[in-house]
Structure 1
């Protein structure tokens, strides 16, 4: 068999590529400027290697905060320019203000301008190359699905919406009771099992994804062909594995009774050292957060008296770890008696929120009193957002494994919150559950740091709800 696979960068590879070449392009630009022009502020040399290390760290930190490594942003020419301006400006400002490990400020201020322009232009040129070339269809990953015909549309959209560089070329119908002929209305071509290898070669397919929930759908003939493809270097993976790696969510609707086989809990949930370190950091963060909250309270009180005209604080029952009910504390953002007709899901443009309350939500200032809940041990800084008991009961009745999210403490922020908007419907709640379960499964200090950076992006871009 002649292997004819196209080059494709996985999501993790794209992010590493962006981080590495961001730093390399900036360093090469600064080296070029120092060699060609009268630029003495920043020079790459063994004697001042700390200058280079600090600059590289700042580029990665602020690039993360300003979404330079969000692939949707990185692939959009206009969005990435905004991120470049913010990243370059913040990096240069903080770098100039950093003592000891950075060069002494130059007496000739034009040197600072050259420093900024070199960083901005190098990032701009490299990222435009990425948008026009590396993010183009040249590097699309072509795959084949093995699934039941009734699942096809949902499975295809689940993959292609999550990764625009993922293209389903065709599928093999694993349900022998259905028609296996191509129809005019089929949006994906059906493949005859006998011609699987031929189709793979002719269409430069690099991966086969198995999504069939019926074991009898994988016939002996199909099994032998899959083994042959595997032996020839083609990737064969199970759908839930692919979906999880692309979306960073757990597709609970497809794992059914095998949920606990696909969902081993993170060892960090039982790692006492991890839990101790997290608890110490949470205490420190909560004390700092409460101090900031105390400073902001007079201004919030003033705004509340003008825009809200009601009590400053608001308490509400929420479901915590192991299903225990606790009272969550927030600055009030809604009108008085806004739920006189019963509890309803919060929405993006919630009519119950006052104008000042909308500002508090967007800036996430309304969440500051929850640092008290964290100090009391009822909540964590990071975890699934706590839901109201009435909604938990309602959702758990129609959604499998929903209460699994209560195996850890609820959080002030979380993986679902930084990746998805308010859960206005049951379908939204399913997506947020998928994110929450991913966090519980992969919980680690690195994922926690990632969530912190994403939370900072949410606040800075004023995307709170």
Structure 2
């Protein structure tokens, strides 16, 4: 009996997305070619409705985390979110069509579009989640490593098995390449390798792989088994860089050699910064009088809080925020903000919940000290400590710091130096993979954070 192939998270999301895409195209076809009276139909109408429909559905899905595989596994979530998101989608498309074009509709096809689309999306996602309860859901992993990573072995295996997320990988076997014991010749070990789906390698020098191990690895590749490096696994799964794996030179980690200048990316960054600076600046000036007024009663003291932060090339600059803590919050010394921090005032908690306290940072953007998207600026006292702990920390300062960024939207509010280390992994991922697509994802995730008050 042939072995059933185990799909990773990217492959599963691709199947889910393809199913959604086909249903959306079918629903839009029903609306355009059957629900709208033919005398109003034109090529322009068809094009704009299809483009708007696809864009609005996948934008809503991304913002509302509709492709989270762990949540999709829960039946109650699947039904409720399917109805909620697809109902929003059909409503937006209907409103867009009515207000953009002067059209009339046939009632039954229109009702079919409005009612059947949420049902179809819900049934498709229920089918998807049930299928993966039947077929294998987790890849069995053989983890190959050398003696240099042995002290972090448990932590690395924990990341492969899942650190707060379902990776769909599970370490079943480990092998240390410098081990002199003849494990590779043992029948029991060879039989166990046959049941393995994926090899994950974390070695400094691939020349250290023994001949028998290379033969087994090649045999696994020929049998169409997955063979990847630990860095590739970590980057694809967590969308961050594994700075603790200790198997990367400066150039290998960030691929800075022969880096091409992406003029489109530069132009896009300028447009994004200019547009968002104008819009956020307007919001800042509109909100300022209200924050000042409520400060008089619920947060007595200065309106703004200023602090020195480390910016591009390690130069310090002054950052501005609406004050959310008591006066002299750091009279006993520098301390990172924590969840349920007693120094935060009741009104300050509201400011932080909706990220209103961050708005004055737009002043630093206008001054050219910050950009809208980039690594979060830290204080020098913490930067000095982290530079001693991490050889790659200073790389963050190659770029201007940002109001929002990949680390800010992917990881919780930093409470200690360990959190700063984890956030550095996301900063390095952003620096290495900086692109228009990634910047758009950050903007969408920032909108989600503000709209749904995520974080502290």
* TM-score category (smaller protein): 0.7 to 0.9
Q: Give 1:56-455 correspondences, 5 Å limit.
A: 56-99=54-97, 115-134=113-132, 138-147=136-145, 148=147, 150-161=151-162, 162-176=165-179, 192=184, 194-195=186-187, 197-201=190-194, 203=195, 205-213=196-204, 218-256=209-247, 258-265=249-256, 270-455=261-446
Q: Give the corresponding residue for 2:35.
A: 40
Larger CA deviation: 447-456 vs 422-431: 422-431
CA distance in 1, matches of 2:250, 2:80: 42
8 Å contact kept, 2:37–2:105: no
In the TM superposition, residue 150 of structure 1 has moved relative to its aligned partner by 4.8
In structure 1, list runs of 5 or more residues that go unmatched.
182-190
For residue 92 of structure 1, give the secondary structure of its aligned residue in structure 2.
helix
Count of residue pairs brought into register by the alignment: 446
In the TM superposition, residue 390 of structure 1 has moved relative to its aligned partner by 0.7
For residue 172 of structure 2, give the secondary structure of its aligned residue in structure 1.
strand
In structure 2, list runs of 5 or more residues that go unmatched.
none
CA distance in 2, matches of 1:135, 1:382: 40
Q: Give the corresponding residue for 1:49.
A: 46
8 Å contact kept, 1:363–1:464: no
CA distance in 2, matches of 1:154, 1:424: 21
Larger CA deviation: 12-21 vs 377-386: 12-21
Larger CA deviation: 45-54 vs 281-290: 45-54
8 Å contact kept, 1:67–1:457: no
In the TM superposition, residue 17 of structure 1 has moved relative to its aligned partner by 2.4
CA distance in 2, matches of 1:307, 1:42: 58
For residue 368 of structure 2, give the secondary structure of its aligned residue in structure 1.
coil
In the TM superposition, residue 281 of structure 1 has moved relative to its aligned partner by 2.5
In the TM superposition, residue 125 of structure 1 has moved relative to its aligned partner by 1.6
1:48-91 CA-partner distances (Å, limit 9, x unpaired): 53333321221011111111123333334344445434423432
CA distance in 2, matches of 1:136, 1:450: 33
Tell me the C-alpha RMSD between the 2 structures. Answer: 3.2
8 Å contact kept, 1:88–1:116: no
CA distance in 1, matches of 2:328, 2:234: 43
TM-score where L is the length of structure 1? 0.85
8 Å contact kept, 1:384–1:413: yes
1:79-132 CA-partner distances (Å, limit 9, x unpaired): 444543442343234323325796657689898765443232222222222222
1:204-236 CA-partner distances (Å, limit 9, x unpaired): x22211124476863222122222322343332
1:243-299 CA-partner distances (Å, limit 9, x unpaired): 111111110111356242232149888434422331232022101111112122222
CA distance in 2, matches of 1:266, 1:458: 35
CA distance in 2, matches of 1:132, 1:267: 47
